[in-house]
Amino acid sequence: MEREELLYRIEYSYNFELMFSKITWRIDKLISLTLLILGSVVFSGVQGTFWYGLAVAVLSAIQMTYQYAKASEHSSTQSKAYMKLLNLESRYSDEELLDKFVEIEDSDHKPWLLLSDLAIVRTNIRKGYDPESDPQLPWNIKIIGWFAGDCPHR
């Protein structure tokens, strides 16, 4: 693998992990805010408290099962490791750089493929590549990108 290709993969991984960290953090905060609002509605005497209570139980189960806050923290740590590797890449030979990259990559979570094209576009922009190499982003992926804190456009 050529050094430039490896640097592209590191940059892509950095962008991907950063977006994943932001989107999972925002999902966790959105669920927490909704739980606070629904929890207060249950005690306010509003009709249909059973449904509000059910919503609280379901959202709590989702939050405990998927642990978005934990995933966000892990991805944030991963993105910092990739950025550190990018900043210090000149200190490493090609083999050492590949070894460091594989070491960091081994700790990655299973990715959400929804963020893949967004990370490619962001990486192409940061690397200065032509827009022709960018994948087309449909409107729903652009909304997800906006929610992930990075809807790249040229």
Of the pLDDT bands very low, low, confident and very high (cuts 50, 70, 90), residue 46 is confident
In whole angstroms, what is the distance from residue 136 CA to residue 132 CA?
A: 10
Q: What is the pTM of this model?
A: 0.91
Range of the domain at 126: 3-32+69-147
Within a domain: 24? yes
Among the ranges given (43-47, 60-64, 105-109, 146-150), the one the predictor scored with the smallest mean pLDDT: 43-47
Is 14 within 8 Å of 83 (Cβ atoms)?
yes
Identify whether 40 is part of a domain: no
Domains contained in the chain, number: 1
Residue 63 belongs to some domain of the structure:
no
* 105 within a domain of the structure (yes/no): yes
Cα-Cα-Cα-Cα dihedral sign, residues 22, 24, 30, 36: negative
Q: Identify whether 95 is part of a domain.
A: yes
Q: What is the pLDDT of residue 84?
A: 98
Please indicate, yes or no, if residue 56 is contained in any of the structural domains. no
Q: Collapsing DSSP states into helix, strand and coil, what is residue 127?
A: helix
Would you place residue 41 in the very low, low, confident or very high pLDDT band (cuts 50, 70, 90)? confident
Residue 51 lies in a domain: no
Residue with tokens 């490896």: 6
pLDDT surpasses 90 at 50: no
**Whole-number pLDDT of residue 102:** 97
For residue 138, tell me if it sits in a domain: yes
